[in-house]
Structure 1
Amino acid sequence: MKALLYNMTPEQMVYVDKWNKEHPDDDLETTDDYLNAKTVEQAKGFDVASVMQVEDIDEEAVYQKLAEYGITHLALRSVGYNIINWDYVHKYNLLITNTPAYSPRAVAENALTSAMFLLRKWGKIFKNEQNLNFVREADLMSDEIYNKTVGIIGVGRIGSATAEIFHALGAKVIGNDLIENPANEAFLTYTDFDTVIKNADILTLHTPLDPSIVDMIGAKQFKEMKDSAILINQARGPLVNTQDLIEALKKHEIAGAGLDVLTEENDFFMHKFTSMDQLPKTYQELAKMDNVVVTPHSAYYTKTSVKNMIEHSMTDAKRVINGQKPVYPVEL
């Protein structure tokens, strides 16, 4: 198997080298570039192309060129597949696979970390300490997790891991998903979307993104949530209307937000800046709030996850080349 892995990073490279060493018949080559119409020619001569990127692959030339090069498989080293143009996938008969199980627990643990940061009001505590104020003020009193109801929207692999962790800490966990998995009933109670929204003290999102659920959480939902509720979004930025979130926080319709993803993240995540003025206005507003914590799409970022992104995606690629069915096909 000869594969070209786009958007390679140093931490992934460790496991690419490991794969090449353990599979001498394979040749994994890498490029720092994202896959687009300008870089697709680098894939010529390879059996499979692999990507891990947040930039949309929406140019027809990419899919046309891959097909011309005889590449029938595009292997995503990530869970999300909203970067793909499915009209072109079908037109050029490409197979798409993803890596949905590289480490659900990594994202679940990040959701817990964000929730506890906000629940224990560390944002304001840190701000006070920066101002040399070490007084235990009345509004810094918090609650304990076992008194809370955690609501999960999207109870797939990541949502299930999240349910299990919060349940282990004593929280009541409720969830909503199109498919109700009986195996999760030890950790949560399934209910309808509106009931989750209205009853959650901590609302955490773990759904894939498709056009039908853009702005799934907006002004209406914020008004229905408890004013003491915390929103956690570890899934995709467009699930939440950012401007509506900002307004809800200003009006104290909810108590806080932990965001690993944002609608405008492509404009500044994974980049360095010299001035706050260079960043999107929405982020500038969120950054001023001590009841908001933002992480740069890094919930997945653990050693286990990075290793599995390479190993799972390349194992599927090898299966396809050998005429076997992939373990993680994506079909829309």
Structure 2
Amino acid sequence: MKILMYSTHEHERTYAEEWAKETGNQVTMEMVPLTKETVAMAKGYDGVSVQQTSRIDEEVYRALHELGIKQISTRTAGVDMFDLQAAAQNGITITNVAIYSPRAIAEMGVTHAMYLLRNIGRFNQRMENDYDFRWSGDLIAKEIYTCTVGLIGAGHIGGATAQIYRALGARVIAFDRHPDPELAPYMEYVDFETVLKESDILSLHVPLLPSTEKMIDAAAIAKMKDNAILINMARGGLVDTQTLIDALNSGRLGGAGLDTLADETTYFGKQVDAEEVPDDYHELEEMPNVVITPHVAFFTNVAVRNMVRISLDDVVAVIKGQRTKNIVK
């Protein structure tokens, strides 16, 4: 079986080559994403795998259908880059890697939170700019076990996040439309309003959908605790970025840890000139109470290996008409 991997990163190659050798399938790795300009590269292949956040246009699905390709397997958990209706209309099955390493993303979120909780960015700014090595009351920190951590979304990643915070002694509350009784030892399920009002650290773990877009807006922030910390390891579109900036500038929020931004597809994962980076990034990255990483919370050896292997396994399964739990509906 011949499989084309679009948007291949160098760190994925070893794992794809290992999989191909083990399974006897042929994998061709290209660095470009799947677009209307590159879809013709899939001619002669049985299936495709992608990893991208840029949107896949409707005409791509038609072109794949004409090439006889019946699936797209994404090496990500998120699927907001797909037009699922257009895919279905063209007989294309979409699979994702819903569980590749929840711990990887959970650990990054906790890392951001602890950095902000201990005011490390603010101390660094004073030391670097003014050689001011004093401590002062405005930079006194909370200890994590005294904090309430609120999760919006308690699936695989949210659940792993809850377990880490609980192990550190924090109180953990969560809002999720489908509570999992197995997570009860690590968190208390509450309503959305309660999570907003009681959290010292608010961590987002939901997909980007029409119902969740800009869920953290002016109204939501107004209900949050003064000096609360917002952590977003999920999708940038969950947060109204300008409202977040205003809340940070005014001191309404204490800090933000962001592995994702709403307009990230134009520059995350690339090296660009300064003028190509949006103003909101520049404004945020200058704040000492903000941590930004370029959508790399997943980026561990365990996660990358799992993403590649599960995605390629699903290509084969779909083509052969076998069952896979990773079909996106």
**One-letter amino acid matched to 1:218:** D
Is 1:8 the equivalent of 2:3?
Answer: no
Gaps of 5+ in 2: none
Specify the SS of the correspondent of 2:33: coil
Matches of 2:306 and 2:285, distance apart in 1 = 33
What is the TM-score when the length of structure 2 is the normalising length?
Answer: 0.97
Find the counterpart in structure 1 of residue 108 from structure 2.
Answer: 110
Determine the structure 1 residue equivalent to 2:22.
22
Matched, 1:315 2:313: yes
Q: Give the secondary structure class of the aligned counterpart of 1:89.
A: helix
Q: Which runs of 5+ in 1 are unaligned?
A: none
Whole-Å separation in 2 of the counterparts to 1:251 and 1:240: 17
3-state DSSP of counterpart to 1:255:
strand
SS at match of 1:125: helix
**Post-superposition CA distance 1:132-174 (Å, at most 9, x none):** 2111222221011000000000111100000111011000000
Aligned partner of residue 12 in structure 1, secondary structure? helix
Shift of 1:274: 4.6
What root-mean-square deviation, in Å, do the aligned CA atoms of Structure 1 and Structure 2 show?
1.1
Q: Is the 8 A contact 2:16 2:308 kept in 1?
A: yes
Of 288, 291, 305, which residue of structure 2 is paired with 1:290?
A: 288
In structure 2, how many angstroms separate the alpha carbons of the residues matched to 1:142 and 1:310? 40
Match of 2:326 in 1: 328
**Preserved contact between residue 49 and residue 74 of structure 2 (Cα < 8 Å):** yes
Contact 1:74 / 1:95 at 8 angstroms: preserved in 2?
yes
- Aligned counterparts, 1:154-169, within 5 A: 154-169=153-168
Matching residue of 1:90: 88
- Counterpart-to-counterpart distance in 2, 1:128 and 1:214: 36
Identity over the aligned pairs, expressed in percent?
43
Greater alpha carbon shift after TM alignment, 170-179 vs 317-326: 317-326
Count residues in correspondence.
Answer: 328
SS in 2 for 1:330: coil
Deviation at 1:50, TM superposition (A): 0.7
SS at match of 1:329: coil
Alpha carbons 1:146, 1:170 under 8 Å: kept: yes
* CA distance in 2 between partners of 1:314 and 1:170 (Å): 39
- What is the alpha-carbon distance in structure 2 between the residues aligned to residue 261 and residue 22 of structure 1? 35
Matched residues in 2 for 1:170 and 1:156: separation?
A: 21
Within 5 Å, give how 1:196-207 maps onto structure 2.
196-207=195-206
Measured after TM superposition, the shift of residue 61 of structure 1 is 2.0
Q: Name the CA distance, whole Å, in 2 between partners of 1:289 and 1:111.
A: 18
2:221 alignment counterpart: 222
Q: CA deviation at 1:268?
A: 1.8
- Alignment match, 2:136: 137
Which amino acid in the other structure matches residue 92 of structure 2? L
List structure 1 runs of 4+ shifted beyond 6 angstroms: none
Letter matched to residue 10 of structure 2: P
The correspondence of residues 184-195 of structure 1 with structure 2, limited to 5 A, is 184-195=183-194
Separation (CA, whole Å) in 2 of partners of 1:52 and 1:271: 14
Aligned partner of 2:64 in structure 1 is 66
Distance 1:257 1:82 in 2: 23
- Taking a change above 3 Å as real, the CA distance of residues 278 and 61 of structure 1, as seen in their structure-2 partners, is closer
